[in-house]
């Protein structure tokens, strides 16, 4: 409920099927907590998993600043994607520490909420996309009420701060412009860059990688060979292998690599590095538009070990995806 018994539309209301049967959920929520907030977080995760159209990615328990950083990074990376909306839910003793560290990422608006009114106000006014809650002062029952208010209140909806009445025209106009202006605060325009890789990519013409839909490549050097590669958000590389081992450094974006021979997976964000040995079969999913630098010895080759449909089925069946 929003406030005073006024029900706002749920983000999952337009979803045609339940979360068990939906191919694409309408809302993804990344969750986590420290040891003081874990019991409340677990109760809220259980409630979320009972809701249709909601996918939960639970990152578990860590130090409050570490778990908040991971959740903030996830929400920030997905904020520019046009696919499923991603929000965050994070808990610590007070709910304050986690909000501080989640808020260090662009396009993340985390708020500590200890009441339903807090949740309704921050969704209506701030377009809050990360809910921070207090494990020491909020019971699971009250936490669920706060969570429901946060889920069901749309941006600019009447709230306690507006007297539960529609916002006046001047405030509505301010709110219409605020989100775009807020997004620019953490993204100042940089006139130039001294980064060698960033300078190298300027003006390059990329060539589509026909065997991998959504991918483009520009060879930079031969023997040893290096290239810049970019993939569009949502792209998927079916399981494949090469006759060479290769080093990958992520310039921007986020991707996940499954090494099927080692039965291991790695989530790579900006600045991360991964080496894949020659012959190892690996599958890759791109969560957002991603660019990476790749280096290998020998001639370029790629051998598919599955088709795109089989890869999609395997990824959709994997936990946490």
| DSSP secondary structure letters along 147-195 | HHHHHHPPTT---GGGTTSPPPHHHHHHHHHHHHHHHHHT-PPPS----
Tokens 């959504």 sit on residue: 214
- 248, two tokens: 């990958």
Rounded to an integer, the average pLDDT of 246-271 is: 92
Strand segments, DSSP code E, in the chain are 27-33, 54-61, 85-92, 110-112, 130-134, 207-208, 215-221, 225-231, 236-241, 246-252, 254-259, 264-269, 273-276, 282-286, 290-296, 303-304
Can you tell me the distance from the alpha carbon of 198 to that of 196, in angstroms, rounded to the nearest whole number? 6
Query: How far is CA 299 from its chain centroid?
Result: 35
Can you tell me the distance from the alpha carbon of 156 to that of 172, in angstroms, rounded to the nearest whole number? 7
pTM of structure: 0.55
Assess whether pLDDT exceeds 50 at residue 64: yes
Q: What is the mean pLDDT of the chain?
A: 83
Assess whether pLDDT exceeds 50 at residue 8: no
Backbone angles phi, psi at 320, to 5 degrees: 80, 5
Domains present along the chain, CATH in parentheses: 26-184 (3.40.1400.10), 199-318 (2.60.120.10)
- The per-residue pLDDT for range 280-304, each reduced to its tens digit, is 999 999 999 999 999 987 777 889 9
- The per-residue pLDDT for range 126-138, each reduced to its tens digit, is 999 999 999 999 9
Nearest to 237 by CA among 304, 301, 319: 304
pLDDT of residue 198: 55
pLDDT of residue 207: 78
Q: How far is CA 154 from CA 121, 132, 203, 257, 277, in A?
A: 10, 18, 41, 35, 48
Bridge partners, 228 (sequence order)? 218, 293
């Amino acid at each position: 409920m929003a406030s005073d018994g006024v029900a706002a539309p749920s983000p999952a209301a337009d979803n045609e099927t339940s979360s068990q049967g939906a191919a694409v959920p309408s809302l993804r929520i990344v969750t986590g907590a420290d040891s003081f907030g874990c019991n409340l977080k677990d109760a809220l995760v259980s409630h979320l998993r009972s809701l249709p159209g909601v996918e939960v990615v639970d990152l578990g328990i860590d130090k409050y600043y570490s778990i908040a950083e991971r959740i903030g990074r996830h929400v920030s990376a997905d904020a520019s994607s046009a696919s499923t909306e991603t929000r965050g839910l994070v808990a610590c003793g007070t709910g304050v520490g986690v909000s501080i560290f989640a808020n260090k990422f662009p396009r993340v608006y985390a708020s500590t909420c200890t009441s339903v009114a807090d949740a309704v106000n921050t969704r209506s006014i701030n377009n809050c996309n990360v809910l921070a809650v207090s494990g020491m002062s909020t019971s699971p029952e009250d936490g669920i009420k706060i969570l429901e208010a946060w889920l069901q209140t749309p941006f600019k909806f009447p709230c306690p701060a507006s007297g539960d009445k529609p916002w006046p025209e001047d405030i509505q106009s301010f709110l219409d412009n605020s989100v775009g202006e807020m997004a620019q605060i953490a993204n100042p325009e940089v006139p130039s860059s001294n980064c060698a890789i960033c300078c190298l990519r300027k003006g390059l013409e990329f060539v589509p990688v026909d065997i991998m839909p959504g991918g483009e490549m520009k060879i930079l050097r031969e023997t040893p060979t290096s290239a810049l590669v970019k993939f569009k958000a949502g792209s998927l590389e079916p399981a494949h292998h090469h006759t060479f081992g290769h080093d990958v450094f992520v310039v921007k974006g986020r991707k996940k690599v499954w090494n099927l021979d080692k039965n291991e997976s790695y989530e790579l964000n900006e600045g991360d590095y991964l080496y894949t040995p020659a012959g190892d079969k690996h599958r890759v999913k791109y969560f957002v538009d991603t660019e990476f630098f790749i280096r290998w010895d020998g001639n370029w080759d790629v051998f598919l070990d599955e088709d795109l449909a089989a890869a999609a089925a395997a990824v959709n069946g994997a936990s946490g995806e």
